[in-house]
Structure 1
Amino acid sequence: MHRHWLVLTLALAVALTLGHLVAKPTGGAGLASRASQMPKTQGAAEEQRDTEKAQAIHRVRQAEETPFYSCSCEQDEVIRPVRPYPSGADIAGLQTYLASFGFDPGPVDGVYGPLTAAAVAAFQRSRGLEPDGVLGPRTWIALGRTVASPVAQAPVPPPPGRVEIVIDTVDRTLTVLSDGKPYKRFPCAVGKPSTPSPQGQWKVVSKGAWSGGFGTRWMGLDVPWGKYGIHGTNKPWYIGDAVSGGCIRMFNHDVELIFDWVEIGTPVVICGNPFGPLRNPRRELGPGERGTDVLAAQRRLRMLGFDPGPENGMYEEPTANAVKAFQQSRGLRVTGVVTPDTYDALGLYLFE
């Protein structure tokens, strides 16, 4: 425990230093589940109403005035065992998860066929749901609540001191601090290498009881170039992986627990990316791009005497002009776009 606390202390120091030094998320493909409608029983009609309600809430959220990027966790889709059978990584994860609780889905092949549907029906029956083998909103919610992580199985009192959060994207853990000391640690899922979780110091600026792809709770962060947050998931088999569009996913039981501990304004530090603020591979940066790599370029430009405008992680005209001036001063091709040679000239290298 002492060693892990030392690591957290160092991680926190690195993240704080990142604020002064330099060193479009894309959603996962949707499941192919738009098959022909099955005859509706009363339960199926209720599922359809739940689906329409969830989709309406999702559309309202997307229509809200939000910054540029939004969390790419998609709305849970209704999946039916109708040919051509839906398939994909989500279903493979579901099959593994069902098998771990004694519901045999057959081969873990990522295909939602009759055997997987029968396992889902058995799961539904065990949870008092209509055993129709259809993955609808109520079944997704039941899956999300199937098991608490080991941390959340016993009652946990609130932290006695000031609450802060440290998220380590390498260990894929979220640690709640109380007066600067570790209080509870939880497993989590983090951003993919192509859509990393935003490193830096943030604050919680919004909270809500949500549903669908966001699980049961949402805590939004003040990342200036997008809508990122800490939230639950109805696909618990992904906890511990780097799979999100940048958000931090937790077991629903865990996010519900810390939701009551976290107030608006709670500090959140995200650290641990072995490549620092950059993506691997380094992407070209030009007008319209946003992220920690843009922020790193802005900070390095300012350090070198070139004004990029606001240091906000958004690649706008002032940043492009500063890049052009920097490129001209270094004898590089003047494009206003950060390419590998410009990264190198700025001193922004990948490191491990």
Structure 2
Amino acid sequence: MRILRRGDTGSDVRVAQTALVRAGYDPGAVDGVFGARTESAVIQFQGTVGLTQDGIIGPNTWAYLEPFAMEPNPEVLRIGSRGEMVRALQTALKAAGFDPGAVDGIFGARTKAALEAFQKAKGIPVTGVADAITWLVIAPYIDYTNVVLRRGSTGMYVMILQSALVNACFNPGVIDGVFGANTLAAVLAFQRAKGLTADGIVGPRTWAALKPYITGKVVPYTVKAGDTLYSIAAAYHTTVSDILKLNPRADPNRIYPGEVFYIPVNSCSTNPGNPGPGGGTGGGGSGGTNPGC
């Protein structure tokens, strides 16, 4: 990438603006024009990551920006991120006993260090990046007081909700972070089973009822000769889609012995004698109890 500064135009400026938006900054219109607002956003970003705040995108600034350009999900957080999801992460790290510094919604060096320490302690990849695996593991420490989800919601909170519903033996479909019809049916069934108002909206009372099922548990699995994603998924009572959500890869049709996958632990299927909150052991349709639970 070329060095960019105020007055430049082109597709690489648009890439930089897109990365800034995903990181939580406001460069103005993503139009490929490096104007005053883009310069201001670059200066703010540089301050967050600890670089000289000159408003020029040189090699060092590009090194921090490029991961945001490559990762389309703004809730995958890393150094340079800022916003409410960073604040939620910092609050959860503090609750888990890891000090991110000020809970200010700015992902700087201290937040990165705290996240790496958390990842090491939990036995997950130490990347300093809050990806899907990390969000699932830190989920028990998140404050859900102001988190309200409903049909149409998307993101990491929805993924956590879906995982909890699976653990509670209610089937939301694929754990994909999208609150669609299957997730709605599972939420309604869960609310009815728990004696809550069955409105399909996940607010404070529903989160409180879900708390025992937000386990934060994933297990590492080392691929052996002859394994397939389907055989691994079957062994852990999960789906290929759920495995790939936590372990994204360019070619899902190729896995190699020695690779490590992180698998979400399904508390429902690991306790086959548990009839589940809905009181049944079969079902398997959307919103019902999971098969084998």
| Range class of TM-score, shorter chain | 0.3 to 0.5
- Structure 2 length-normalised TM: 0.39
Larger radius of gyration between Structure 1 and Structure 2: 1
Which gives a bigger RCO, structure 1 or 2 (Cα 8 Å, sep 6+)?
A: 1
Q: Which has the higher strand share?
A: 1
**Is the helix fraction higher in 1 or 2?**
2
